[in-house]
Structure 1
Amino acid sequence: MRGRGRVGLALILALLASPVLALDKPRDFVPPPPEQVPNVREQTRAVMIELASYAKKRDPNFQVLMRGGVELLVKGDWEVQWEALHDPSSSGFYRRLPERSVFRPLVKLLDGLVIDGLYCGANVLDKPLADAIKERKADDAQIDSEKKIGIHRPPIPVEMGPFSNDPAVELRRAAEIKEKLDKAERVRRIVYAADAIRAEGRAVLSVDACTGPAGIETALRGAARDRVTTFAAVGTRLDQPPRPHPPGENAGEVLSLNTIHNWLPLLRSDGFGSKGRFVEAISNSNYDMVVIDVAHRGVDFLVKADIAQMKFKKLGPRRLVLAVMPVGRAYDWRWYWQKGWEVGAPPFLFAHDDQPGTYIADVGSAEWKALLGKYIAGVMDLGFDGVMFDDIETYLWLEELMPIDR
């Protein structure tokens, strides 16, 4: 980022007296003034545009999938506030995208979007996706018309108290309302992103962590209704052995995301013993698309022959094999990790995350971007059909750490 009053994450890191835990704000962290908070959404967006542009230029058929990051696709109120802080005189107002505008440079580079919990989990819709999109558009149109006559109301209705004379009841009710509002806001952002992706003819996928077989069946029915390709399973771990016969088993050839009937995100292969057993397990399945790490157990690299073998279903036809690529987090078990690394050294290791060996990365760091560039080049050299950008939403934690509405 450039310009007066802006500060990068590397400078903010210098303000920390102790490592940051991603689930807890550090007691001694002093956030920069609101006008100096960086737009980490734009930094993340720019990194993915650069990576995807490189890949598409090198191979136009290379598939680019993004997991999460819905706020990067459609402009929300946070970025509207950020722009107002950085241009209080509104001298550049005519260059700003209006709220709810689609960031088309990124959307047009994506072949699909993965949304977690659409049918099992925190983001479950209470209606078909098409209806949710239609209702959101109608409500936004009404809000816009009201603004023209001086009526301003939030996009999500807010319940007002008091609800009881008992403080304990009041606190409990307030917590329930906050949880309800948080979900409604998440769903609103998801609906905007799904609409933006669909409008460009891109695919929508989901990962659904269900509590049992009944939940899986419900997820599969909902996804079929909404034309979403879901991976629904019990639990949240994406390291489960592939099923020989996945839901919607398809005997046809699959060469693009828009033609898949099912998919398998198998992001950790630790439970397979040897690399050979892992490759064999994938080869003996009939998923239309698999998303895997570039290295078995994070360090034992797959080779071209492994990728070539996994590109064919047990039935015989071609399928897609994509590599997972974390953008906003670094891991001490991945191939790039070097002895002696810790928070602040190298500078792009911004903070400890909540999981051991996991770190929040500074996506604006030139060194981190260079590492990501090597990552995607290596993915393409190995012969993968595409990439799934993962660990995108670290910008949300950074925004909470450095609020601009104070």
Structure 2
Amino acid sequence: MKKILFLFLAFAVLSCNSDDENSSNSEDRNFHQDMRDFVIGISQKAKGVKPNFAVIPQNGIELVTENGEEGGAISHAYLNAIDGNGQEDLLFGYDNDDQATSTEDSNYLKGLLNVSKNNGKKILVTDYCSTPSKMVTSYQQNFAGGYISYAAPDRNLTVIPSGNPYNVNADVIANLSQAKNFLYLVNPVNFASKSAFINAVTATNYDAIIMDLFLNDEAFTASEINQLRNKANGGKRIVICYMSIGEVEDYRYYWENSWNASKPSWIVAENPDWTGNFKVKYWNADWQDIIFRGSDSYLDKILTADFDGVYLDIIDGFEYFE
């Protein structure tokens, strides 16, 4: 789910981005490398439990090279840790939904996405467009570029489009590299129960689904995730779990009531475009314990539910601190 990056004008916010436990001064940090290290740590733990577990960072594609530029030296440690890259708004939605992304912005993103693709990684594009002809254009052009894509008619990612997915097939999809299409359905607000969600998804033929761990604050079980692997045409899909690591969300199980009155120093400013989402000093040890280091971390819950991978959001959180 896209959390639009924003610039905060108050100098006081930026001037306090130090972390007593982790850094004497945020200005000394390499924010790109901090995020790479975060993703690498998540990958190492997950693949240590489930070797074929897919790790897919969304946005922040600049991390694939050391200097964040298309011609820069490849960040091999980072690329070795991931299985693909997600990218929003490549062809539609960068400035406004259902509006074509400028050629300049699109080409910039493609240049970096192709660094990842040429190193064997799967590229998953989410374009936000609802006009049927634009959705067709999105699918066709992304396919021509060597990407799999999802034309999302709703930025809140609440709906399953009617009809079969682009490049529909009855294959048994065992890993990300085999997927020819995907469904991005992380907001289950339209489903009253997990069974209703499962029934709706298993009536489709998508090769992969990106979904949330929870519905109505109740986590999906390994048995339920296994049901979701069934495609309507008899094939199998992979099931990927969404997890935001660059923002804290106040509706998650880990949110402490005391934070409503006084937040930890590593929780920064609220995202004005997404109520209840707060920028986080993602290099902070306490936050990383919540996400993957702790004995009952968010990642542990995802692994226990037997997802096939994780879709990491707000990877571009480094832009806020820079």
Q: How high is the TM-score relative to the length of structure 2? A: 0.85
Q: Which among 66, 72, 93 is matched to residue 100 of structure 1? A: 72
Q: Is 1:41–2:32 an aligned residue pair?
A: yes
Residue 35 of structure 1: how far off its partner (Å): 8.9
The amino acid that maps onto 1:391 is I
Q: Which among 256, 259, 265 is matched to residue 347 of structure 1? A: 265
Q: Is 1:114–2:33 an aligned residue pair?
A: no
Q: Which among 375, 378, 389 is matched to residue 298 of structure 2? A: 375
Measured against aligned partners, the alpha-carbon deviations of 1:209-240 in whole angstroms (never above 9, x if no partner) come to 11401100111110121121110132422111
Comparing 332-341 and 234-243, the one that deviates more: 234-243
Contact 2:13 2:268 in 1 (8 A): no
Rounded Cα–Cα distance in structure 2 between residues aligned with 1:24 and 1:61: 39
The amino acid that maps onto 2:58 is R
> Where does structure 1 lack aligned partners over 5 or more consecutive residues?
1-20, 79-97, 125-178, 400-406
Measured against aligned partners, the alpha-carbon deviations of 1:189-220 in whole angstroms (never above 9, x if no partner) come to 52342222122211111000114011001111
Rounded Cα–Cα distance in structure 2 between residues aligned with 1:246 and 1:343: 46
- Provide the residue aligned with 1:391 in structure 2: 314
Distance 1:281 1:352, change over 3 A: same
Rounded Cα–Cα distance in structure 1 between residues aligned with 2:321 and 2:271: 12
Residue 45 of structure 1: how far off its partner (Å): 1.0
Contact 2:14 2:321 in 1 (8 A): no
Q: Which has the larger radius of gyration?
A: 1
Contact 2:62 2:112 in 1 (8 A): yes
Task: Provide the secondary structure at the position in 1 that maps to 2:55.
Answer: strand
**Cα RMSD after superposing both structures:** 2.7
Rounded Cα–Cα distance in structure 1 between residues aligned with 2:199 and 2:266: 37
Q: Is 1:227–2:146 an aligned residue pair?
A: yes
Q: Is 1:26–2:26 an aligned residue pair?
A: no
The amino acid that maps onto 1:357 is G
Contact 1:243 1:285 in 2 (8 A): no
Q: Which among 122, 125, 134 is matched to residue 203 of structure 1? A: 122
Residues 296-307 of structure 1: pairs in structure 2 closer than 5 A? 296-297=215-216, 299-307=217-225
Residues 286-305 of structure 1: pairs in structure 2 closer than 5 A? 286-297=205-216, 299-305=217-223
Measured against aligned partners, the alpha-carbon deviations of 1:26-76 in whole angstroms (never above 9, x if no partner) come to 264463799934222211111100110111222221111111111211133
Residue 122 of structure 1: how far off its partner (Å): 2.6
Aligned length: 302
Comparing 350-359 and 365-374, the one that deviates more: 350-359
What percentage of residue pairs aligned between the two structures are identical? 23
The amino acid that maps onto 2:167 is G
Residue 389 of structure 1: how far off its partner (Å): 0.8
Runs of 4+ with >4 A deviation: 27-30, 32-35, 186-189
Q: Is 1:56–2:47 an aligned residue pair?
A: yes
Task: Provide the secondary structure at the position in 2 that maps to 1:232.
Answer: strand
Task: Provide the secondary structure at the position in 2 that maps to 1:215.
Answer: helix
More helix by share: 1
Measured against aligned partners, the alpha-carbon deviations of 1:118-166 in whole angstroms (never above 9, x if no partner) come to 2223399xxxxxxxxxxxxxxxxxxxxxxxxxxxxxxxxxxxxxxxxxx
Measured against aligned partners, the alpha-carbon deviations of 1:296-319 in whole angstroms (never above 9, x if no partner) come to 14x111111211110111222221
Residues 175-190 of structure 1: pairs in structure 2 closer than 5 A? 184=104, 186-187=105-106, 189-190=108-109
Distance 1:35 1:304, change over 3 A: closer
Contact 2:245 2:313 in 1 (8 A): yes
Contact 2:62 2:68 in 1 (8 A): no
Rounded Cα–Cα distance in structure 2 between residues aligned with 1:380 and 1:229: 25
Q: How high is the TM-score relative to the length of structure 1? A: 0.69
Task: Provide the secondary structure at the position in 2 that maps to 1:308.
Answer: helix
> Where does structure 2 lack aligned partners over 5 or more consecutive residues?
18-24
Rounded Cα–Cα distance in structure 1 between residues aligned with 2:72 and 2:203: 44
Task: Provide the secondary structure at the position in 1 that maps to 2:150.
Answer: strand
Task: Provide the secondary structure at the position in 2 that maps to 1:201.
Answer: coil
Rounded Cα–Cα distance in structure 2 between residues aligned with 1:267 and 1:329: 16
